[in-house]
Amino acid sequence: MSYTTSHRRRNPLTGDWVLISPQRSDRPWSGETSPAEPTHAPERVPDCPLCPGALRSGGGQNPNYRGPHVFTNDFSALSAQGSATPASAAVGLSEGPTPDFMRDEIASGECRVICFDHRHNRTVADLSLDELENLLKTLQQEYSALSANYRCVTLFENKGALMGCSQPHPHGQIWAHEHLSTTIANEDQHQREYFEKHGAPLLADYQAWESNDGERVVFENAGWLVVVPYWAEWPFETLLITKGNQAHFGQLTADNRATLAEAMAVLTRAYDALFSSSFPYSMGWHNAPEPQQEAHWRLHAHFFPPLLRSAQVKKHRVGYEMLGESQRDLSPESAAEKLRLLADDVQHASMARG
């Protein structure tokens, strides 16, 4: 379907709207369009705190690991579990009745860092399928251990300096806490409401619809669908959804991990091919927060890449997007077509090699 006029689309997971303006996609552009600067990092960098054997800034030392390595974040964003300090005292509020506009609470939990590989110059796109499966198995073990103690466990990666990543060594983070983050609570509410109304999981219905329609599909295999969502905000945003009934990372089987490794390999390599660069993004997994009430939920991951026109031109949320609502010029269908063609090329190249 061709979209040529401005319109709005609703994100059913959050209730937010995005303004689509495809008629602006051909407007004159005088911004920067330079390619990414080539990088030739070695496999090990002596002063990198995430490399094997390195002394970290917090005082800990990494073992001479190979493959994935997990450790407790030396600079955790969450207070240690069990803090008895009243929230109002922790944030410096005076004693006495607290007005409704000054609500607060203690946020306790754990933060961990996971190095994806011992090699400094590898990204997810550079890992073999076996290496990716091993990484996913490690992530699953960490998720299962943390979800036994916390309701909300988020596994995520910030890749590239454009996303504020200060350490180029390939790594992600795991944050676990008892409170539900705003996004998880919002997604949980909307998925519950859909399930109560339709008797089926929102993302299960959406996955089936997109697989049948095909226009926004980037890649799919027996276990997973990669799609530029109908309501995408970022230029080349994608949604990775299970085609099974898994509600959280702990439910993945060996077959799930194998097909997921393939989907992630194809997607990240297609991203890299888009502007011939190591494509930056923020991505993360959304797991069901209530293990006993998860029929409405499907495990999924969001990829939010900032690049718009070249390897160094980032989409900025300014003006109307900060004051009104999200807006995009490139339609999700156009973005999906570009990524789908690259995904096909990547997959065929992989098959030719192996």
pLDDT over threshold 50, residue 32 = no
The pLDDT value given to residue 89: 56
What is the per-residue pLDDT across 81-102, written as a single tens digit (0 to 9) for each? 655 555 555 555 566 677 788 7
In a domain, 1, yes or no: no
Percent of the chain scored above 90 by pLDDT?
68
The pLDDT value given to residue 321: 87
In a domain, 133, yes or no: no
In a domain, 162, yes or no: no
In a domain, 48, yes or no: no
**Predicted TM-score of the model (pTM):** 0.91
In a domain, 14, yes or no: no
Catalytic status, residue 248: no
Domain range for 310: 180-353
- Please say whether the beta carbons of 107 and 179 come within 8 A: yes
* CATH number, residue 190: 3.30.428.10
In a domain, 115, yes or no: no
Confidence band (pLDDT; 50, 70, 90) for 30? very low
What is the per-residue pLDDT across 100-148, written as a single tens digit (0 to 9) for each? 887 888 889 999 999 999 999 999 999 999 999 999 999 999 999 999 9
SS3 letters across the chain: CCCCCCEEEECCCCCCEEEECHHHCCCCCCCCCCCCCCCCCCCCCCCCCCCCCCECCCCCECCCCCCCEEEECCCCCCECCCCCCCHHHHCCCCCCCCCHHHCCCCCEEEEEEEECCCCCCCCHHHCCHHHHHHHHHHHHHHHHHHHCCCCEEEEEEEECHHHCCCCCCCEEEEEEECCCCHHHHHHHHHHHHHHHHHCCCHHHHHHHHHHHHCCCEEEECCCEEEECCCCCCCCCCEEEEECCCCCCHHHCCHHHHHHHHHHHHHHHHHHHHHCCCCCCEEEEEECCCCCCCCCCCCCEEEEECCEEEECCEECCCCCHHHHCCEEECCCHHHHHHHHHHHHHHHHHHHHHHC
> How many structural domains does the chain have?
1
Q: Which of 171, 296, 300, 302 is catalytic?
A: 171
In a domain, 27, yes or no: no
In a domain, 123, yes or no: no
What is the per-residue pLDDT across 157-212, written as a single tens digit (0 to 9) for each? 999 877 777 788 999 999 999 999 999 999 999 999 999 999 999 999 999 999 99
